[in-house]
Structure 1
Amino acid sequence: MSVRVLVVDDSGFFRRRVVAILNADPGIEVIGQAANGREAVVEALKLKPDVITMDIEMPVMDGITAVRHIMARRPVPVLMFSSLTHEGAQATLDALDAGAADFLPKRFEDIAGDREEALRVLRRRVRTLGLRHTQTRTDATPIPPTPRRAAAPAPARAASAPASAVRSGRTPAFRLQDFRIVLIGTSTGGPVALQKVLTALPADFPLPLLLVQHMPASFTPAFAQRLDTLCAIRVREARNGDGLEPGLALLAPGGRQMVLESRAGKARIRVMDSDPEQHYRPCVDVSFQSVAPVFGRQTLAIIMTGMGADGREGVRLLKDKGAQVWTQDEASCVVFGMPAAVAEAGLSDRVLPVDEIGTLLASGMKAHA
């Protein structure tokens, strides 16, 4: 079954370019085009695509408004094309908050240094989002609505236990007092998932948090600022030499690597350039592996929505030290890649819907008090 795509952009040249790139993949079929947001809404309802690629700045109706209309009427994965500027970051985050699933730079040379690799990334991203949608549609399960913080979070519960828990015959008990740090790794769908989790935490949350989200360098300052505005805890982009503080979440800077080091008995952040061979910048594995020798079993690691398997090897090293690991469940993921890789390796202690992760973290404070 081919992934059916609607391409939306006010530039006819760019539309033709995207159509040619996508149609070169036998698993993708472009079924329509639109030149503005209003046309996109009409075509989305008429053609019922599996994926929509969407520009942000367009006449008549912009891409963000179009995403809101589409999500309200017929939710479908939307891949935004964004400029790598501060203004582009703000607009892209608005689009993700409106319900878009993911984004890519509009300049293909910003996706990857090699042109052919950039085209492969675009096709792979469209296929992954589309197959997730067709699977959901085949299962007759509604696409998850625009992720927003629930007015009244559901009571925390442990979902179906993964392999590691099944072998032990129980899901490990959760007590916040057993930990000294919380790690969260995310990719596709991560900005909204992180917002859901972090907004559930109170200002007096007693542990520091390290966040690793696959994101360009121009986006992470704006994303950290947005989270800081929305959350009761403090959130900011990590800086070299930062110490850890209760209720402070440090976001790995885009395009670089964030690691934790122990200096004179104190844990400090080191932000460093990435190895050219490292695919993810920042990389969940790199950050998580650096925490293992510092906090070991006193670490709570959480892997949420995202493509690929980044985080699995970092989690494996943490598990060897006795750390506890949670993964987001498939139903609430935009892409069940990273959490699946961890769960399938038997490394997950709890599998939870995204709405319950923050709630459970906050509930652990009762035992911590």
Structure 2
Amino acid sequence: MALRVVVVDDSGFFRRRIVEILSADIGIEVVGTAANGQEAIEVVKRLNPDVVTMDIEMPVMDGITAVRRIMAESPRPILMFSTLTTEGAKATLDALDAGAMDFLPKRFSDMAKDEDSAKILLRRRVRALGRTRVQRHAPAPQVERGPGSDTKTPRPAAQAVRLAPKSGTPVRSLRAVLIGTSTGGPVALQEVLKVLPKEFPLPIVLIQHMPASFTPAFAERLNGLCRIAVKEAADGDELKPGWAYLAPGGQQLVLAGGAQARIRIEGSPPGTIYKPSVDMTFSSAVGALRAQVLAVVLTGMGADGRDGARALKAQGAHVWAQDAASSVVFGMPAAVIEAGIADHVFALKEVGPALVKELC
């Protein structure tokens, strides 16, 4: 049976274009369209599609409000179309908080190197979302920091932390937590990081597939939601406990060793698909941190992170993965699990508490 899709955009030209691209896939049927958020709510109720594509800026009712209503009343996977600007990034993050599952640039030249690749990417994302299961959505509450706790000052270099995994493998000394994710990652990272205490004893490195214009806004948002400090990583940053470093979009974050581990921001080798790449960051930790890390692979499309996790695992590192039921797209964690290198498999809501229990 074909995947049923509703396309929502106030531009008739863009609606027709998306309909044409999706309809070229025999596994996708566009069953309806809408020109604003209010129409979208009505069309979704009437046609019960498997996936909705949604613009953000529209008359009558904007896309964020429509997403919130749809996810509260008749939840289903929603793919947002966004502009790659600072304001577009903030609006897209708002839409993801409201319950949207994924986003793509509205301008196809920002999506892929050529139009054919962009069309394939769009159809692939829609098909992947069509396989997900959703529930009614409630936005995450803000974290109460308490008086004077908004000031986040760097602390001394991280000391090794002992982790005794339930699997019974030998105790390891850890120097950092590395978390890689893609589709569904922005909300997943919020879920994990918001439960960590301000005095979390290790630095955390975050690798999220995201455009360069989005990562500053996302780091700022995480910093406002979490007790730990979060920043977009910069070349030369020292890894400090109680801090999370978000890899900047469009570049690669690698770790350099020495007396004090540091972050290096580099360009991508020719042919690199993901910018940033989870595999590149994970692999760099083998030498830089002597694999004394906990690598966590969360929801995402594809298999980025599997090879890096395998290299870490071979040197004695710990690897966790998110389970299928709580993943928006069970691609990246499935690749790690199927490769036999995951020490633990957790539901998303269990990852943060497990970090606290094992490391604090």
**Considering the TM-score relative to the shorter chain, is it more than 0.5?**
yes
Unaligned runs of at least 5 residues, structure 1: 134-141, 152-169
Equivalent residue runs for 1:1-369 within 5 Å: 1-133=1-133, 143=135, 145-146=137-138, 148=140, 171-172=166-167, 178-263=173-258, 265-366=259-360
1:274 CA drift (Å): 1.2
Flag the structure with more relative contact order, 1 or 2, with Cα contacts below 8 A and sequence separation at least 6. 1
CA distance in 2, matches of 1:144, 1:330: 18
Judge conservation of contact 2:74–2:136 (CA < 8 Å) in 1.
no
- CA-CA distance at 1:146 after TM superposition: 4.7
CA drift at 1:2? 1.0
- The answer to whether the Cα contact below 8 Å between 2:322 and 2:345 also exists between their aligned partners in 1 is yes
Greater CA deviation, 124-133 or 91-100?
124-133
TM-score (norm 1): 0.89
Unaligned 5+ runs, structure 2: 144-164
- Report how far residue 115 of structure 1 moved: 1.0
Q: Are the equivalent residues in 2 in contact too, given 1:149–1:196 (CA < 8 A)?
A: no
Structure 1 distance, partners of 2:55, 2:229, is 32
Equivalenced residue count is 339
* Matched position secondary structure for 1:266: coil
Q: Secondary structure at the match of 2:219?
A: helix
- Cα deviation for residue 262 of structure 1 reads 1.6
CA–CA separation in structure 2 for the residues paired with 1:318 and 1:147? 35
- Cα shift readout 1:182-228 (whole Å, capped 9, x = no counterpart): 00000000000000000010000010000000000000000000000
Q: Residue 332 of structure 1: SS of its match in structure 2?
A: coil
SS at the partner of 1:217?
A: coil
Q: Distance in 2 between matches of 1:118 and 1:100?
A: 20
The equivalent residue for 1:160 is none
Aligned partners of 1:53 and 1:252: how far apart in 2?
27
- Asked if the contact 1:174/1:364 (under 8 Å) is kept, the reply is no
Residues in 2 aligned to 1:175 and 1:77: alpha-carbon distance in whole angstroms? 42
Once residues 174 and 62 of structure 1 are traced to their aligned partners in structure 2, the CA distance between those partners, rounded to angstroms, is 52
Could you tell me how far apart the structure 1 residues matched to 2:171 and 2:13 are?
A: 54
CA contact (8 A) 2:250 2:275 kept: yes
Percent identity, aligned pairs only, is: 60
Distance 1:302 1:147 in 2: 24
Measured on the aligned residues, the alpha-carbon RMSD in Å equals 1.8
How far apart are the structure 1 equivalents of 2:3 and 2:323? 24
Q: Determine the C-alpha separation between the residues in 2 that align with 1:262 and 1:279.
A: 26
- Identify, as 1 or 2, the structure richer in helix: 1
Displacement after TM superposition at 1:113 (Å):
1.2
In structure 1, the residue corresponding to 2:200 is in which secondary structure? coil
Q: After superposition, what is the alpha-carbon deviation per residue over 1:113-160, rounded to whole angstroms, capped at 9, x for unaligned?
A: 111001100000001111234xxxxxxxx6363563699xxxxxxxxx
- 1:292 deviation in Å? 1.1
1:52 match: secondary structure: strand
Runs of 4+ aligned structure 1 residues displaced above 6 Å come to 174-177
Structure 1 residue 173, shift from structure 2 partner: 5.2
CA contact (8 A) 1:176 1:364 kept: no
Counterpart-to-counterpart distance in 2, 1:147 and 1:291:
34
1:174 to partner: Cα distance: 9.3
d(CA) in 1 for partners of 2:297, 2:19: 34
